[in-house]
A and B are shown apart, each in its own frame.
Chain A
């Protein structure tokens, strides 16, 4: 019995290590760190609080759904990347910036990576990606967070 328990512990440890490694290596390829993912509830608090520090919210997807967000257009389009660079050129490097798309899950989204790379390249210090793991409907609209009217 003791032998099997020991084997089971070993198996669990090994599986955890393998999955942990797979998760870390897949995340390592992303241009953002886990700290640069902002929870939707946190952004909603900022939007609803008139005393919150100024935060620039950019929609880099197909529709600017979130209240107070600036519509840039899909990040995969070169013209929109140029437009985004132009907007960012007017901001100090320590500006609070949040970008979002929300068309589909991150692994399929063609828009978030090019735009986050631009923020990295331009040397911004406080830029974040809104964490919408499924899409803007499930992770924002359905939760009753602030939308444009």
Chain B
């Protein structure tokens, strides 16, 4: 009887897992390619930043904690954008917004003077990028090296600062 219950539970669990489309990215894996439009309509590929250490910042203008984090990202960007790292030359932020209204997205970019790469398909949580990266919650970020390999995940505040500092040559 116990065996039947265990098999039944295992079946239900595997069924549920199969239905869940979340594919969590792991440290050491290559970050999947992202090719999305910037606010002015040009498509910018993540791969175009190869050789640099890149922070992929998933955010949305509607996400209060994400917006709150932007000034800290700005500081990091100014400090490290021309730095030499053990695993890349220069630092870039690739901001992927899960907005769905271009005007709101642009107004936050303007307000916080965000001068790093910004892209969005304006599909909110239905964005294929949210699925490809297995994003469960915002804010979320991924740090990749010059070869596009994931070196850290979801670090914020001091933890993020320290992680980038450690990579300096």
Interface residues of A (CB under 8 A from B): 62-63, 65, 74, 102-105, 108, 110, 134-138, 141-144, 147
Contacts and interface: CB of A to CB of B under 8 A. Distances in A.
B88 to A, nearest CB: 31
Given A108-B64, A137-B135, A138-B136, A143 B19 contact: yes
Chain B interface mostly: loop
Most buried by A among B21, B100, B125, B135: B125
Interface in B7-21: 19-21
Given A104-B137, A108-B64, A137-B135, A63 B126 contact: yes
Contacts of B124: 62-63, 65, 136
Interface of B: 19-22, 60, 62-65, 99-101, 124-126, 130-131, 135-138
A65 B137 contact: no
Contacts of B60: 62, 103
A137 B64 contact: no
A103 B136 contact: no
B124 to A, nearest CB: 4
29 contacts: A62-B60, A62-B62, A62-B99, A62-B100, A62-B101, A62-B124, A63-B100, A63-B124, A65-B124, A65-B126, A74-B62, A102-B125, A103-B62, A104-B63, A104-B137, A108-B64, A108-B65, A135-B137, A136-B124, A137-B126, A137-B130, A138-B136, A138-B137, A141-B21, A141-B125, A142-B131, A143-B19, A144-B19, A147-B126
A65 B64 contact: no
Nearest to A74: B62
A137 B98 CA distance: 11
B136 A141 contact: no
B136 to A, nearest CB: 6
A142 B22 contact: yes
Contacts of A147: 126
Nearest to A103: B62
A24 B60 CA distance: 32
Contacts of A74: 62
Contacts of A136: 124-125
B125 A137 contact: yes
Contact of A63 (B64, B125, B136, B138): B125
A141 B126 contact: yes
A108 B64 CA distance: 8
Contacts of B100: 62-63
Contacts of B20: 142-143
B125 to A, nearest CB: 4
A111 to B, nearest CB: 9
Contacts of B131: 137, 141-142
B7 to A, nearest CB: 23
